[in-house]
Amino acid sequence: MVFVLAAVVSLDRRFRRYRLFGRWWVPDWDRLRDFWRLGFPIGATLVFEVSIFNAAVFLMGLIGQPQLAAHAIAIQIAALTFMVPMGFAQAATVRVGKAFGARNRDEIHRAGWTAFALGIGFMTLTAVLMLVVPKPMIGAFIDVEDPRNATVVGFAVSFLAVAALFQVADGAQVLGAGMLRGLHDTRLPMLFALAGYWGLGLPIGVALGFWAGLGGVGIWIGLAAGLTMVAVLMMRRWTARDALGLLPSRNEG
């Protein structure tokens, strides 16, 4: 992937004029510092999110093998649907960032909310499908008609029901993060992710899963709580972007 991208920016006439690899051996320390200030919080945010889902796998393994198998199926389905709003979030970062550079407040508003509407619309549809027809989705991984798989299928259906509840929150948090990145706002969203996933989601999941006896469903409720908190914080910051001074000073649209 890296080599293909390098070839594109070096050979395509629309990109080669920027001479991305020109004098690459001479470091531009000011530019590198800017990249780190902007990029490190983005990377940390992704680490916090990915690691909480990895932690859920280990916790599920402590509960039991059927729950772990069902979790593997449900999380694959949820991860697949998540790719769509994640793609819209990447597009929002680019489009909002372009409008931010042009100091066009109207276009910032339009680009951000367009991506949000498309992403949330898709996640709402997938939430309905998870609630209404979960077994065909599970059937892509195991034979749902085989009696030997009945326990795993039952757990997977329960996990997908919880996943349906946090589909919109999951889409909102990644879209909000992408929209804010276009405004070069990455540090506080990083702290939102840390607080939501590890400060709220994990403790709730452990408490409900082990102490309250809800098992795997409790773990998934914890994930849902963490995602919801992050989504609320991200979107609250986006809607208050003007009051917080995140927008450019002039509108040259």
CB 57, CB 68: distance < 8 Å: yes
**Does residue 192 contact residue 199 with C-beta atoms inside 8 Å?**
no
Residues 178, 90: Cα–Cα separation, whole Å: 6
What span, in angstroms and rounded, lies between the C-alpha atoms of 10 and 194?
Answer: 38
pTM of the model: 0.90
Name the residue with tokens 């979790």. Answer: 71
- As a whole number of angstroms, the distance between CA 233 and CA 200 comes to 13
Instruction: Please give the torsion angle defined by the CA atoms of residues 219, 222, 228 and 233, in that order, rounded to the nearest 10 degrees.
Output: -140
d(CA 200, CA 222): 8
Nearest to residue 60, comparing CAs of 52, 71, 50? Answer: 71
The two three-digit tokens of residue 16, written as one number: 């080669």
253 residues of the chain, pLDDT tens digit each = 999 999 999 999 899 888 888 888 888 899 889 999 999 999 999 999 999 999 999 999 999 999 999 999 999 999 999 999 999 999 999 999 999 999 999 999 999 999 999 999 999 999 999 999 999 999 999 999 999 999 999 999 999 999 998 899 999 999 999 999 999 999 999 999 999 999 999 999 999 999 999 999 999 999 999 999 999 999 999 999 999 999 998 654 4
Among 112, 222, 224, which Cα is nearest to 170's? 224
DSSP state of 148: G
CB 190 within 8 A of CB 247: no
